[in-house]
């Protein structure tokens, strides 16, 4: 039904409602309050409630309005509140003057000062509190639509509109939910807290159930219609390659490898997210799967976010596959035109089985002979269009997305609801957990002493600052100031800086020199978060650590502890110690990301706004985590039956 069919809504109101994202009657009915003000009468003699005082009272004098500072105004009158005459003041509500008269019973909400006997009101209701309790729904509004008008519009819509029941009756009975129609009425006109909580739980469940049901149906549809070419993988060759690796795979690596080999040998296209902390061994799993596809005659693409990472993966792959006929190629934007043309030709002639590179590999000039497997490393750093461009290089490639930023199960259930998720939790043998300490700036001497001990042993250190240059608006550490200070403290060692404003060649040169131990202390911004695997670095110092999210701190910490030596991470900050202490307590990236998720929210989990982050009307995937997990299980059971 159209909005203009609702009593009281004309063409002007339709446009205003459209601006609020309300386009039809169902949108209007489901324009839920964003909060509820629950008003309970408080005693004027109880100091616990002076900052949040609520009571009804009898107006004793005519209101007076004073104007000041241009269009600012203050309305004041005397009121008998619980047999005490007090002065009530409220700002910028001059329009109430004609509605408040001596003898009227009103309700006042605000801050009470018992010494001056003045109540500074935040709101005034022109009625008595019914039964000492009032629950007021608060809506998102625009200047031209008042709360009263919005309430009237919604009430009219509820009276003439119909609400679809999305929750199956069996599930309603299971949890004791009420009907969606009844829940919506209660949410817009709540009488008591108990029924309001039940109504909200019903509607939250309905919202999550509707979404997860669509996700599940989409996954089934993809499995039915988006078939991949069946890959006749030679498992004997794959097993032989695994058995001849210079190290043994961890149990988690073995589990996810065979999990994905099962995907590759089925006729259902693989669409899987592989999660694992920095250094957990995701890359070798990707290499094994690429080799498996090669035994079936297919090529693989491996896209990384940085040139440094591409080169690192390429060099590792060359070493691993040196005794096989598996041919690896590298393609980055900085390669010379002649080198690129050679790669294009080899790829088309099927002389390359695995091409590793930056977004250069999605160029129109890159033509594959038989692409069957697509890998994206640190996939959240690529835009949706970049991932699609790579995927579209073939008709139906199997897809593996990898992320070293542990995504909490909550987030994975939503953003990757139509994707299978594999997790590597165990670290390779011989790795020691990084000892992490939160230090105040007054304790910096201890940190410098640890760096000195590492340098004496021939090891290296990272030092991270939140800023590149000094900023007059903040006193946060910057790389240039720290370089000056560290050069004085460690004058016999080579200290260099690295940051995002440097050109690519300069960054690569610095990273390469650090990797080759020509630089002892690298002072950097978070540009090193995804970078060189420098096994010789054993100390990480992060200044103004309170400026970073926990997941980002965990990523930075992952730059050290990449060998059998004991490594250390120091978080230097005089603020936010309670939050930073989580880093001392655990090295489990998934626990840390859950904590970060609860503290920072779903949209800023990686320190950057995620495209496609969900925005439910009532539900919050952090707060309603337990409900979300129940819904997912219920949807699977409902569809399977």
- 382 confidence band (pLDDT: 50, 70, 90): very low
- 415 confidence band (pLDDT: 50, 70, 90): low
CA distances from 481 to 100, 284, 497, 524, 539 (A): 62, 40, 10, 11, 20
Separation CA 352–CA 345 (nearest Å): 9
Share of the chain above pLDDT 70, in %: 88
Cβ contacts of residue 360 below 8 Å, gap of 6+?
Answer: 331, 332, 333, 335, 340, 366
Lookup result for tokens 């590149």: 468
Task: List the end-to-end C-alpha distance of the chain, in Å, as a whole number.
Answer: 34
Q: Write down the domain spans for the chain.
A: 3-169, 170-225+611-641, 235-424, 435-600
The model's pLDDT over 339-378, given as tens digits with 9 standing for 90+, comes to: 999 999 999 999 999 999 987 887 788 888 988 898 988 6
**DSSP-derived secondary structure letter, 359:** G
- pTM score over 0.75: no
Residue 413's pLDDT is 59
Lowest mean pLDDT among 79-88, 170-179, 624-633: 624-633
Residue 167's pLDDT is 93
460 has pLDDT over 90: yes
Mean pLDDT of 616-637: 81
CB atoms within 10 A of CB 71: 8
CB-based burial, 137-150: b 16+ in 10 Å, e otherwise: bebeeeeebeeeeb
Q: In a 3-state reduction of DSSP, which class is residue 4?
A: helix
Residue 501's pLDDT is 80
Find, among 29, 7, 5, 27, the residue nearest to 181 by Cα. Answer: 29
Residue 379's pLDDT is 52
Residue 603's pLDDT is 40
132 has pLDDT over 70: yes
Which residue would you say has higher pLDDT here, 209 or 20? 209
482 has pLDDT over 70: yes
Same fold, 235-424 and 435-600: yes
- 383 confidence band (pLDDT: 50, 70, 90): very low
Mean pLDDT of 587-596: 76
What tokens appear for 93 in the block? Answer: 């509500």
Separation CA 60–CA 295 (nearest Å): 91
Which residue would you say has higher pLDDT here, 223 or 290? 290
Class of domain 235-424: alpha beta
CB-based burial, 353-370: b 16+ in 10 Å, e otherwise: bbbbbbbbbbeeebebee
Which residue would you say has higher pLDDT here, 215 or 242? 242
Separation CA 82–CA 54 (nearest Å): 11
CA distances from 398 to 255, 269, 293, 373 (A): 18, 5, 10, 5
The model's pLDDT over 530-579, given as tens digits with 9 standing for 90+, comes to: 556 788 999 999 999 998 888 788 888 988 988 888 999 999 999 888 88
- 528 confidence band (pLDDT: 50, 70, 90): confident
Q: 470 — phi, psi (to 5°)?
A: -65, 140
The model's pLDDT over 2-12, given as tens digits with 9 standing for 90+, comes to: 888 898 898 99
CA distances from 437 to 310, 459, 579 (A): 32, 19, 13
166 has pLDDT over 80: yes
**DSSP-derived secondary structure letter, 401:** E
Residue 387's pLDDT is 45
Mean pLDDT of the chain: 85
Mean pLDDT of 418-426: 79
What is the dihedral sign for C-alpha 293, 295, 300, 302? positive
The model's pLDDT over 248-262, given as tens digits with 9 standing for 90+, comes to: 999 999 999 999 999
Lowest mean pLDDT among 4-8, 63-67, 172-176: 4-8
Mean pLDDT of 143-164: 87
Strand duo 133-138 + 105-113: pairing: unpaired
Mean pLDDT of 230-243: 91
182-187-192-198 Cα dihedral, nearest 10 degrees? 60
Which residue would you say has higher pLDDT here, 378 or 413? 378
Q: In a 3-state reduction of DSSP, which class is residue 331?
A: strand
Residue 388's pLDDT is 52
What tokens appear for 580 in the block? Answer: 């930073």
Residue 597's pLDDT is 64
Range with top average pLDDT, 80-84, 309-313, 587-591: 80-84
Specify whether domain 435-600 bears CATH 3.40.50.300: yes
The model's pLDDT over 71-113, given as tens digits with 9 standing for 90+, comes to: 789 999 999 999 999 999 999 888 899 999 999 999 999 999 9
**Alpha helical stretches, state H, 247-383:** 251-264, 282-294, 307-320, 337-348
Separation CA 554–CA 593 (nearest Å): 9
318 has pLDDT over 70: yes
CA distances from 472 to 289, 396, 477, 481 (A): 51, 53, 12, 14
By residue count, the chain amounts to 641
386 has pLDDT over 50: no
The model's pLDDT over 598-611, given as tens digits with 9 standing for 90+, comes to: 665 444 333 323 33
CA distances from 176 to 198, 209, 397, 519, 627 (A): 9, 15, 45, 65, 14
Residue 628's pLDDT is 80
Mean pLDDT of 616-620: 81
Mean pLDDT of 576-589: 86
What tokens appear for 149 in the block? Answer: 């008008």
Mean pLDDT of 277-299: 91
Write down the CATH number for the domain with range 3-169. 2.40.50.140
């Amino acid at each position: 039904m159209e909005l203009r069919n609702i009593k009281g809504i004309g063409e002007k109101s339709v446009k205003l409602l459209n601006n609020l994202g309300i386009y039809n009657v169902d949108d209007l009915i489901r324009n839920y309050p964003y909060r509820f003000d629950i008003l309970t009468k408080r005693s004027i003699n109880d100091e616990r409630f002076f900052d949040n005082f609520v009571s009804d009272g009898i107006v004793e004098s005519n209101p007076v309005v004073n104007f000041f500072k241009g269009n600012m105004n203050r309305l004041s009158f005397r009121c008998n509140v619980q047999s005490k005459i007090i002065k009530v003041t409220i700002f910028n509500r001059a329009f109430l003057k004609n509605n408040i008269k001596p003898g009227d019973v009103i309700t006042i909400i605000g801050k009470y000062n018992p010494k001056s006997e003045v109540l500074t009101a935040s709101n005034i209701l022109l009625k008595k509190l019914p039964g000492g309790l009032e629950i007021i729904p608060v809506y998102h509004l625009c200047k031209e639509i008042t709360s009263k008008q919005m309430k009237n519009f919604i009430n009219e819509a509820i009276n003439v509109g119909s609400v679809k029941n999305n929750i199956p009756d069996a599930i309603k009975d299971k949890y004791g939910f009420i009907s969606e129609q009844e829940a919506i009425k209660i949410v817009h006109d709540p009488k008591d807290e108990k029924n309001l909580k039940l109504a909200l739980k019903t509607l939250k469940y309905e919202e999550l159930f509707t979404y997860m049901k669509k996700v599940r149906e989409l996954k089934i549809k993809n499995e039915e219609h988006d078939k991949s070419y069946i890959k006749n993988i030679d498992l004997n060759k794959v097993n032989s390659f695994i058995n001849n690796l210079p190290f043994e795979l961890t149990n988690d690596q073995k589990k996810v490898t065979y999990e994905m080999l099962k995907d590759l040998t089925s006729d259902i296209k693989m669409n899987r997210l592989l999660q694992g902390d920095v250094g957990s061994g995701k890359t070798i799993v990707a290499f094994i799967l690429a080799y498996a596809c090669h035994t079936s005659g297919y090529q693989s693409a491996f896209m990384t976010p940085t040139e440094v990472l591409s080169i690192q993966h390429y060099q590792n792959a060359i070493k691993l596959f040196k005794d096989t006929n598996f041919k690896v190629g590298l393609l980055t934007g900085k390669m010379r035109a002649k080198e690129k043309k050679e790669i294009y030709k080899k790829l088309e002639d099927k002389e390359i089985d695995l091409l590793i590179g930056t977004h250069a590999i999605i160029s129109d000039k890159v033509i594959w002979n038989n692409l069957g497997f697509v890998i994206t490393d640190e996939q959240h750093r690529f835009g949706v269009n970049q991932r699609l461009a790579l995927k579209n290089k073939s008709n139906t490639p199997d897809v593996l997305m990898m992320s070293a930023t542990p995504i909490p199960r909550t987030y994975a259930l939503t953003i990757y609801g139509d994707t299978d998720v594999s997790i590597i939790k165990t670290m390779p043998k011989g790795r020691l957990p990084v000892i992490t300490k939160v230090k105040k700036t007054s304790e910096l001497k201890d940190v410098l002493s640890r760096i000195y001990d590492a340098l004496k042993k021939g090891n290296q250190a990272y030092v991270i600052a939140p800023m590149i240059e000094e900023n007059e608006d903040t006193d946060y550490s910057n790389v240039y100031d720290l370089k000056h200070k560290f050069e004085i403290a460690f004058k016999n060692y080579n200290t260099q800086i690295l940051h995002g404003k440097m050109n690519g060649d300069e960054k690569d040169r610095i990273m390469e020199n650090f990797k080759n131990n020509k630089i002892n202390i690298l002072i950097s911004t978070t540009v090193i978060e995804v970078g060189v695997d420098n096994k010789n670095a054993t100390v990480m110092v992060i200044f103004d650590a309170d400026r970073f999210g926990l997941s980002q701190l965990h990523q930075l910490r992952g730059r050290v502890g990449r060998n059998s030596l004991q490594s250390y991470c120091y978080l230097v900050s005089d603020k936010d110690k309670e939050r930073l202490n989580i880093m001392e307590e655990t090295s489990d990236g998934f626990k840390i990301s859950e904590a970060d998720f609860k503290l920072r929210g779903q949209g800023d989990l990686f320190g950057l706004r995620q495209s496609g982050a969900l925005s439910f009307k009532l539900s919050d995937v952090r707060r309603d985590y337990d409900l979300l997990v129940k819904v997912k299980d219920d949807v699977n059971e409902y569809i399977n039956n």
